[in-house]
Amino acid sequence: MKESIICFIGGGNMASSLIGGLLQTGVSANNLRVADTNPNALASYFPIQTYNDNLQAIQDANVIVLAVKPQQMAEVAKSIATALPEHPPLFISIAAGIRIADLNRWLGKDRAIPIVRVMPNTPALVQSGASALCASTHVSKQQHELAENILRAVGLTVWLTDENMMDAVTALSGSGPAYFFLLMEILEKTGVQLGLPQETARLLTLQTAFGAAKMALESSEDAATLRARVTSKGGTTEQAINTLQASDIQALFDRALQAAQTRATSMADEYGEQA
């Protein structure tokens, strides 16, 4: 990976987090490029090559990371299609709702384009992301490893064998950070209502969330077992858990994630039909 030239089309938050992660893993700034409408902004943060012309940026690149908004993807892909060499580089798409088949059609029509579709999430900004990857049949073993190494620079990676699973990933981990932020928001507000100072409630909420996640990550046991261990019979935790379960919190989350999954599928249909 360290010898590959990696070009980012789009320089938003996710691209910035990947660039930062790659630099920390030892990838040379000389091998990283970004094409963006405001290239100087990124250049002030990272000592990398910046461009305002996509076609110039992708010349001789081994990997092209498409990091533009989903509604811009068709236009961007079509604009660079004519400049691709006979043997196209690996494309990595981190745009939500863009299917591999649509991207291949925009980039190459009947040509075989190696594409890896990725669903990252925002904790990648602090190198603690969770990314699900799915490869087209044209991705070589070497390119497969290259894509994984790039995303590992910002956190955990998992591979999907069926692209249809990507909408479920979007609902679970793609949107997932917001669910936890909402829970932390609720806990903090309730702590204040119970009489705690605002900053005390905030710090206790954040550290409790961090500690629980750390325990789960470092344990070989599932979440249900860990929950049972801290839920003493007749204790305070049991009373709180019973109250949540009486309100059927499981059904509430079922509906929430199903709604997110349905929206992810409709977005893919909508953006795919733009071409």
- Per-residue confidence (pLDDT) for residue 129, from 0 to 100: 94
Would you say residue 274 has pLDDT above 60?
no
- The answer to whether residues 91 and 185 belong to one domain is no
For the segment 125-171, what is each residue's pLDDT rounded down to a tens digit?
Answer: 899 999 999 999 999 999 999 999 999 999 999 999 999 999 999 99
Report CA-CA distances (Å) from 138 to 89, 91, 115, 142: 11, 11, 7, 11
| Average pLDDT score, the chain | 92
With respect to residue 1, please indicate whether it lies within any of the assigned structural domains: no
* CB contact at 8 A, 5 and 61: yes
- The per-residue pLDDT for 37 is 83
Which amino acid, residue 35?
A
Q: What own/partner pairs with CB < 8 Å and gap ≥ 24 does 66-69 have?
A: 66/9, 66/10, 66/91, 66/92, 66/93, 66/94, 66/95, 66/103, 67/8, 67/9, 67/10, 67/11, 67/12, 67/14, 67/15, 67/18, 67/94, 67/95, 68/9, 68/10, 68/95, 69/10, 69/95
Residues 144 and 180 in one domain: no
Give how far Cα 66 sits from Cα of 3, 4, 44, 96, 244, Å.
20, 16, 21, 11, 42
| Percent of the chain that is helix, strand, coil (3-state, to 5) | 55, 15, 30
* CATH of residue 201: 1.10.3730.10
Q: How large a percentage of the chain has pLDDT more than 70?
A: 96
pLDDT for the residue 211: 97
Q: 55 and 126 share a domain?
A: yes
Report yes or no: 31 and 4 within 8 Å, Cβ to Cβ.
Answer: yes
Domain that holds residue 197: 174-266
Q: Indicate whether 50 and 126 sit together in one domain.
A: yes
Position 4, amino acid: S
Question: Do the beta carbons of residue 8 and residue 35 sit within 8 Å?
Answer: yes
Residue 238 forms part of a structural domain:
yes
The encoded tokens of residue 10 equal 């789009």
Quick one: 187 and 159 in the same domain? no
Lowest mean pLDDT among 43-52, 113-122, 181-190, 240-249: 43-52
Indicate if the pLDDT at residue 11 is higher than 60.
yes
Q: What is the domain-level CATH number for residue 149? A: 3.40.50.720
**Number of compact structural domains in the chain:** 2
In a domain, residue 139? The reply is yes
Name the domain boundary from 169, 190, 219. Answer: 169
Tokens 């509604």 found at:
71
Q: Would you state the torsion angle of the CA atoms of residues 198, 199, 204, 210, taken in this order, to the nearest 10 degrees? A: 120
Annotated binding-site positions for NADP(+):
9-14, 67-70
Q: Give a yes or no: residue 179 inside a domain.
A: yes
Crossing angle between the packed helical segments 249-272 and 236-246, to the nearest 10 degrees: 50
Binding site as annotated, residues? 9-14, 54, 67-70
| Residues contributing to the annotated binding site for NADPH | 54
